[in-house]
Amino acid sequence: PFDVLVIGGGPAGAASAIYAARKGIATGVVAERFGGQVLDTMAIENFISVSHTEGPKLVAALESHVKDYAVDVMNLQKAAQLVPAGSDGLVGVRLENGAILSAKTVILSTGARWRSMNVPGEQDYRNKGVAYCPHCDGPLFKGKRVAVIGGGNSGVEAAIDLAGIVAHVTLIEFDAQLRADAVLQTRLRSLKNVDVLVSAQTTEVHGDGEKVSALSWKNRKDGAQHRLDLEGIFVQIGLVPNTEWLKGTVSLSPRGEIEVDARGATSLPGVFAAGDCTTSPYKQIIIAMGDGAKAALSAFDHLIRLAPQ
């Protein structure tokens, strides 16, 4: 069996694998797609000590760093089931291809995915004006006009954040009212360069072939169609953790995030978690890596306390 089996090959999983392997213990990584969300990212400007990089470049560096160690990387493999430790103390992971792996400790780092609007043009202009992360991409729209889609806490926080950087923000909410906390709504409405549209449904993203130029929205009250000229669209309608396969095993929050403590421990002994799939706040590369390192050190602490076999 593995000493540490990491499920997920994004920044959190890569950091976990490196920290575990550096302890000289048997380490494996199962990844549906090594690199994770970073593969879908263009400019990265907040990875501290690196002024600018690109997703695929950072993934290549992650992969090469992992390969400096004797890590068994099982790429293009999807975990389908977690089997909590029985009397032998080993945690099992069943892969979609039927194989069953066992390990003394498991680190879950399966990440998350942004919910998309599913309107024409959205995928075509992803990373060309359609963005999902205001902390990451906000500064790219300095002095420009943007829309934020979604009036929950994350949408309103994004609109407040962006209003300090861009020229103008239009917040677009599908429902008849915003769902964000009242204090955030008050703050939002005090900002002079923000408009709020409610009962508004985004229907299409327009562009010139290279980048976003406008969006169409429908007034859900009277059905009228409108067009808004802008350069950026931040979609803030939810980040969905990749934890469907874990239901009924580790404790999940109501949003489906794996509940972890400050050490990355989950509700199951020997099972740790890190990165965007957990309740750890602020979903960022550097945070996922820090969480991954922490989970690996916690797994190692757990291992050295196990009775010798």
Report the chain's terminal Cα–Cα distance, integer Å: 12
Q: How far is the CB of 160 from ligand FAD (least distance, A)?
A: 19
Comparison of 42 and 198: residue with beta carbon closer to ligand FAD: 42
Q: Is 31 in the site for ligand FAD (CB under 6 A)?
A: yes
**Whole-angstrom Cα distance, residue 181 to residue 153?**
6
Separation in Å, CA 82 to CA 12, 138, 210, 227, 271: 19, 38, 43, 48, 10
Comparison of 45 and 301: residue with beta carbon closer to ligand FAD: 45
- Scanning 149-157, 168-176, 202-210, 280-288 for contacts with ligand FAD by CB under 6 A, the matching segment is 280-288
Comparison of 14 and 197: residue with beta carbon closer to ligand FAD: 14
Q: How far is the CB of 254 from ligand FAD (least distance, A)?
A: 20
Comparison of 26 and 43: residue with beta carbon closer to ligand FAD: 43
Q: Is 38 in the site for ligand FAD (CB under 6 A)?
A: yes
**Whole-angstrom Cα distance, residue 38 to residue 59?**
7
**Whole-angstrom Cα distance, residue 111 to residue 37?**
8
Burial of 296 per CB tally in 10 Å (0-12, 13-18, 19+): buried
Q: Is 160 in the site for ligand FAD (CB under 6 A)?
A: no
Q: Is 114 in the site for ligand FAD (CB under 6 A)?
A: yes
**Whole-angstrom Cα distance, residue 203 to residue 215?**
8
Select the residue interacting with ligand FAD from 6, 30, 107, 260 (CB under 6 A): 30
- Scanning 39-47, 227-235, 265-273, 298-306 for contacts with ligand FAD by CB under 6 A, the matching segment is 39-47
CB 262 within 8 A of CB 15: no
Q: State the sign of the Cα–Cα–Cα–Cα dihedral 237, 241, 245, 250.
A: negative
Q: Is 275 in the site for ligand FAD (CB under 6 A)?
A: yes
Comparison of 32 and 72: residue with beta carbon closer to ligand FAD: 32
Comparison of 28 and 194: residue with beta carbon closer to ligand FAD: 28
Q: How far is the CB of 248 from ligand FAD (least distance, A)?
A: 15
Which residues does the annotation place in the binding site? 3-18, 145-159, 266-276
Which residues does the annotation place in the binding site for NAD(+)? 145-159
Which residues of the shown chain bind ligand FAD in the complex (CB under 6 A)?
A: 7-13, 30-34, 36-38, 40-41, 44, 46, 78-79, 109-112, 114, 132-133, 136, 242, 245, 275-276, 283-286, 288
Which residues does the annotation place in the binding site for FAD? 3-18, 266-276
